[in-house]
Structure 1
Amino acid sequence: MHRRTLLLAGIVMLIAGTAEAQEPRPGRRWRGGAGDRTSDAPRAPVAYGPHRLQSFDVYDNPAATAAILLFVHGGGWAHGDKAMVHDLPDYAVRHGLTLVSVDYRLAPEVTARQQAEDLATAIAGVRDRFPGRPIVLLGHSAGAHLVALVGVDPEYLGAHGLAPSDLAAVIPLDGAGYDATEPRRPGPVGRLLERMYDQAFGDQRAELSPILRVQPGVSYPPFLIFHIASREDSADQSRRLAQALTTAGGRAEVISAPGDTHGEINSEFGQAGDEEGERAARFIAAVT
């Protein structure tokens, strides 16, 4: 098998599971591999809705005086949970941030639209809990898509009397759902991806594509968009999202992460000395 096909197959296995062995079920929790470890750092769960997945964890950091870092996990829109924060609690402490990690309802029980609505509701709850503190969104994979969607489409935060400009910044990590209307490549990997996208987007791919939702006249928060160097779809869509934002008068920068895999850019992000994490910390300090 071609090396690129092997790489893409690994990404699909990581974020979506195999179609044969991991049929998604509503609310299913997914632990993935060793890279998806959780943290034992003290945290307080806060419900923002009646569903058991509508909650966020606030990680203890009494000395935090800077921004709220609101993390959104990945997992192909159908898996994952808020406990998969890796070294982000330590990262938050090092940089004076308060870490909040958000759960949201999962496909196929809901689509990405309801997940974005969940995220917007959680943001409103965090804003009420920490009045006056700037909020930075950080999301990986499917979470990268969700933070980008809420960061560009006024519909979601508008339901809570807020706007994208009320966010201090948005940091997506290696997403590729920014334009969900793009066709998948032929072959088994493409078929797996197509199944995952059908489940998450249904017939609303254009309406749920951040690139296609950027419009002039809207004030956007600054974006710092990361992608791994070896993943063409993420690289292309990251550049297109940044172009759409800058054309509309916003600010966006794209950073390629050489040597990282789709999982490593997330799991290593909070580690001391990680290039991508430290680059993001400087960005957060500059915009808040």
Structure 2
Amino acid sequence: MLIPRRVLLGLALAASLTPLKAVAQGVSGRARAISFGSHPLQTLDLYPGPDEGAVLLFVHGGGWSRGERGMVHDLPAYAARHGLTLASTSYRLVPEVSAREAAADVAAAVARLKQDLPGRPLFLMGHSAGAHLAALVGVDPDYLGAHGLAPAAIAGVILLDGAGYDATGDRGGGMVGRALGRMYEQAFGAAAAALSPTLRVGPGRVYPPYLIFHIASRRDSAAQSRGLAEALVRAGGRAEVVVAPDDSHRGINVGFGAPGDPEGERAARFIAAES
């Protein structure tokens, strides 16, 4: 029996939300945990790396309600191969907080790294819900402004198959649409517009360049990615949307940065060009 594509996507989405504990068993022990707040999840891991050059801060996914900073998969080896210093941050989760506070935590992690590693270009990368949070911190000046910084303090933003860039938009029907609706309601509540990066882009600001990946099989992510890029370009910013034709929502994250991974190599060129 053939399973409808949207059902398969729904199952993949559910699988992507499963907490992955200690997925970087071989490298996480070498990371140094740095707190940037009083909550246990207000902590980032800083991996050993060069004393100069770009810093890559990763924001995990998990529907705003799950996940943790150890979900780095191939990123430590990827960073070492490309001469980057890797950091990965946790953030407070729904339903304890909303996406607003989660984004504030990401901004605090950026500020801590800018303080501890001054003068080094910092790139912000997120997957799924983490992509939404990275996008929001990169466009809404309120988050970094709380630390005396502006979005332009970020050298570049890399997004992996996010949605929710416009959380007021149509999420479609069926299993996937209903699942997204429940997640958005829990994460955004009545503040969907205020927490939508696409809707927070405006003229007169300097934005970091954006590299936005989405998988080919997700129409919502494709539309959301194009909408965010178009808003940035209209406001005078730079953004490129790249389709990952052979990846799943989970696969683009798990396989990112493995040797020969096209999305990882494209991101490495982006980092080198913007550093």
TM-score range, shorter chain: over 0.9
Q: Report whether the alignment pairs 1:37 with 2:23.
A: yes
Range moving further from structure 2, 7-16 or 206-215: 7-16
**Residues 124-166 of structure 1: CA deviation (Å, up to 9, x unaligned):** 1011110101100010000000000000000100111100011
Residues 271 and 239 of structure 1, relative CA distance in 2, 3 Å threshold:
same
Alignment of 1:152-163 (within 5 A): 152-163=139-150
For 2:163 and 2:271, how far apart are their aligned partners in 1?
Answer: 23
Aligned to 1:53: 41
Question: Alpha carbon RMSD of aligned pairs, Å?
Answer: 1.4
Deviation for aligned residue 1:11: 3.3
For 1:274 and 1:152, how far apart are their aligned partners in 2?
Answer: 28
Q: Report whether the alignment pairs 1:261 with 2:261.
A: no
Deviation for aligned residue 1:2: 5.6
Matched position secondary structure for 2:190: coil
Deviation for aligned residue 1:66: 1.6
Aligned to 1:13: 14
Structure 2 portions without partners, runs of 5+: none
For 2:51 and 2:252, how far apart are their aligned partners in 1?
Answer: 25
The amino acid that maps onto 1:31 is L
The amino acid that maps onto 1:46 is I
The amino acid that maps onto 1:6 is V
For 1:142 and 1:39, how far apart are their aligned partners in 2?
Answer: 23
For 2:9 and 2:90, how far apart are their aligned partners in 1?
Answer: 26
Q: Is the contact between residue 69 and residue 97 of structure 1 (CA under 8 Å) also seen in structure 2?
A: yes
Q: Report whether the alignment pairs 1:3 with 2:12.
A: no
For 2:186 and 2:176, how far apart are their aligned partners in 1?
Answer: 16
**Residues 192-225 of structure 1: CA deviation (Å, up to 9, x unaligned):** 2211111100110000000000000010000000
Instruction: State how many pairs are aligned.
Output: 272
- Runs of 4+ in structure 1 displaced over 6 angstroms? none
Aligned to 1:145: 132
Identity %: 59
Q: Is the contact between residue 39 and residue 86 of structure 1 (CA under 8 Å) also seen in structure 2?
A: no
The amino acid that maps onto 2:93 is L
The amino acid that maps onto 1:183 is D
Q: Is the contact between residue 64 and residue 97 of structure 1 (CA under 8 Å) also seen in structure 2?
A: no
For 2:154 and 2:192, how far apart are their aligned partners in 1?
Answer: 24
**Residues 90-125 of structure 1: CA deviation (Å, up to 9, x unaligned):** 111111110000000000000000000001111110
For 1:2 and 1:154, how far apart are their aligned partners in 2?
Answer: 44
Deviation for aligned residue 1:285: 0.2
The amino acid that maps onto 1:281 is A
Deviation for aligned residue 1:65: 2.7
Deviation for aligned residue 1:272: 1.1
Aligned to 1:172: 159
Q: Is the contact between residue 6 and residue 175 of structure 2 (CA under 8 Å) also seen in structure 1?
A: no
For 1:276 and 1:117, how far apart are their aligned partners in 2?
Answer: 27
Q: Is the contact between residue 53 and residue 83 of structure 2 (CA under 8 Å) also seen in structure 1?
A: yes
Q: Is the contact between residue 24 and residue 72 of structure 2 (CA under 8 Å) also seen in structure 1?
A: yes
Aligned to 2:181: 194
For 2:179 and 2:222, how far apart are their aligned partners in 1?
Answer: 20
Q: TM-score, normalised by structure 1?
A: 0.91
